[in-house]
Structure 1
Amino acid sequence: MTDYSKELEIAKQAAQKGSEIIRNYTSNQNFNIELKGKNDLVTDADLETEKVILTHIRNVFPEDQIMAEESAGERRVPEARTWLVDPIDGTTNFAHGFPIYCVSVAMWEHGEPKVGVVLEVGRDQLFTAQKGRGARLNGSLIHISRITDPADSLIGTGFPYRDLHMVEHYLDLFEYLMHNTHGVRRPGSAAYDLCCVAAGYFDGFYEYSLNAWDVAAASLIIQEAGGEISDWEGDDNWLFGKRILAGNKVIHDFLLNAVEEHFTPEERKAEK
């Protein structure tokens, strides 16, 4: 098994450097906010944080490719070593001074995640994973929930804010889960939500209209914590398919069945 310890260390360093920039902006509340699209914000902090993270990675691995939220072009992960970076996952939360928001850094090779780091800035929670070596929170091993009765489960989700064409069915599913679980929570950062599944805070998670950099790091953290991750058809086109489910096998399959009942086959279909 290839040792990616150096890559993991650089990812952690990059995330920490990014968090320092974010905290500086948080303390003085002096930043510009722009719209990239409907309800899609970007701030000075996003841009400066991304620059610092990318510079740190390139200084150590100049030959590697990088795909980052504020500068991404390609919509597929090459076979070559590629870093996927979200400088602030939860920008809307950050822009309004509301927790939670994260730095997310992943390294993929041969089309698979090898290193994943998600740093929740406000509480300084560092979630990490290296392929084949488990998942950790601030250095301690974590594991997904062992709850197998959906009625006892707590589910995480994210509300769509750009793509609203499925919102009616989305709310129908939301109501169904309110009646058939302990509840549904929406922190506002998909990277953090997925890490909550890995740590057992959430028993499952579902969302649509996500991007690769939102899930590239946390997906490995879930897998290394013993969880399952898929698109809404139960397949593996979740990185760019914009539809994702996660949990232990029982809760994942419960959510998969619930999605099947509340969305049409076309709505469930992952994007190509």
Structure 2
Amino acid sequence: MDLERARKLAVDAVQAAGLLLLDGVSDGFGVHAKGSAGDVVTDLDLASEKVLVERILTAYPEHAVIAEESGLLGAAQAEWTWLVDPLDGTNNVAIGLPAYVIGLALCRSGRPVLGVVHDPVTRQTWSALRGRGAISSSGVRLAPPSRAMPHGPLLAWTQGYAVTRDDATVLSLKATLELRSRRMLQLWAPLLSWVMLARGDIDGMVGYRAEAVDLPAGALIAQEAGIEIRALDGSPFDESVTATAEDRSFVAAHPATLPVLLELVGSGLSR
């Protein structure tokens, strides 16, 4: 498997889908209810997913694809599986907020080896290959520095769609993090948060039962930039795409910052 070829295909695919999204946002699109929890899907999600899936399966018909809207496609039980998030930030798009990205991840036997995230608004793309670092579309290597946090860390928060508003763990954790951080961002686009962490724009990220489709691409980019990811209790993080929702809770930060975040999370969990 030529992973550089796969990266080029993925980058070309997300950039093509990004142009489609930009045109669609300006031309108008339909918004439809998705599930019973108030989530939505747009015509743009479906159109972007079609572009991405067609390009992947044309190049790799022997691969499997798990797409956010279409589910499992391609070859079942394949060694190689693509995860497709055609529009991360759908709710933002639906209300006219230009904060959304596209994500692709390629996994071998359940372990992410390639991650790509594209921002159609800024037309920037970030990608990573396992063991080879993370880069921007201009070729700049991502390596966020550790920095002082005299007023607390600047954090991003993400949680899975199935998490209820009255979840006791979430209420306790968020209350602690909001009290003791400088800011806590909730962008509704976790892949964008991962990129911000990999670039050094924010100090850390906390996730609770994160979604399986959009987690691997961003997490791999952050890891390859030098970010460390742990489970909420500080134990090793299970990065397999087959991990349960409970195992997809995490704390991510620069290694020098991580102990501070783990202490914050620990105090929130013990409340």
2:252 is the alignment partner of 1:246:
yes
SS at match of 1:237: coil
Letter of the 2:24 counterpart: Y
Q: Which moved more, 1:188-197 or 1:236-245?
A: 236-245
In 2, distance between residues paired with 1:60 and 1:160?
Answer: 31
Letter of the 1:203 counterpart: D
2:257 is the alignment partner of 1:256:
no
- CA 1:160 to 1:115, structure 2 compared with 1: closer, same or farther past 3 Å? closer
Structure 1 gap ranges (5+): 266-272
In 1, distance between residues paired with 2:38 and 2:231?
Answer: 24
Shift of 1:49: 0.9
Q: State the partner residue of 1:14.
A: 13
Shift of 1:149: 4.6
Q: State the partner residue of 1:177.
A: 177
In 2, distance between residues paired with 1:210 and 1:176?
Answer: 19
- CA 1:40 to 1:134, structure 2 compared with 1: closer, same or farther past 3 Å? same
Q: State the partner residue of 1:29.
A: 28
- CA 1:171 to 1:236, structure 2 compared with 1: closer, same or farther past 3 Å? same
2:226 is the alignment partner of 1:226:
yes
- CA 1:174 to 1:165, structure 2 compared with 1: closer, same or farther past 3 Å? closer
Letter of the 1:185 counterpart: L
Q: Which moved more, 1:107-116 or 1:60-69?
A: 107-116
In 2, distance between residues paired with 1:79 and 1:61?
Answer: 11
RMSD: 2.5
Shift of 1:222: 0.6
2:11 is the alignment partner of 1:5:
no
Q: Map of 1:92-103 to 2, 5 A cutoff? A: 92-103=91-102
2:124 is the alignment partner of 1:118:
no
Number of corresponding residues: 262
Shift of 1:167: 4.3
Q: Which moved more, 1:132-141 or 1:187-196?
A: 132-141
- CA 1:180 to 1:145, structure 2 compared with 1: closer, same or farther past 3 Å? farther
SS at match of 2:93: helix
- CA 1:150 to 1:46, structure 2 compared with 1: closer, same or farther past 3 Å? farther
Shift of 1:24: 2.0
2:127 is the alignment partner of 1:128:
yes
TM-score for both structures, normalised by structure 2: 0.86
Q: State the partner residue of 2:193.
A: 193
Q: Map of 1:193-212 to 2, 5 A cutoff? A: 193-212=193-212
In 1, distance between residues paired with 2:255 and 2:148?
Answer: 9
Shift of 1:237: 2.6
Aligned-residue sequence identity (percent) comes to: 28
- CA 1:165 to 1:236, structure 2 compared with 1: closer, same or farther past 3 Å? same
Q: State the partner residue of 2:103.
A: 104
In 1, distance between residues paired with 2:80 and 2:195?
Answer: 23
Contact 1:144 1:200 in 2 (8 A): yes
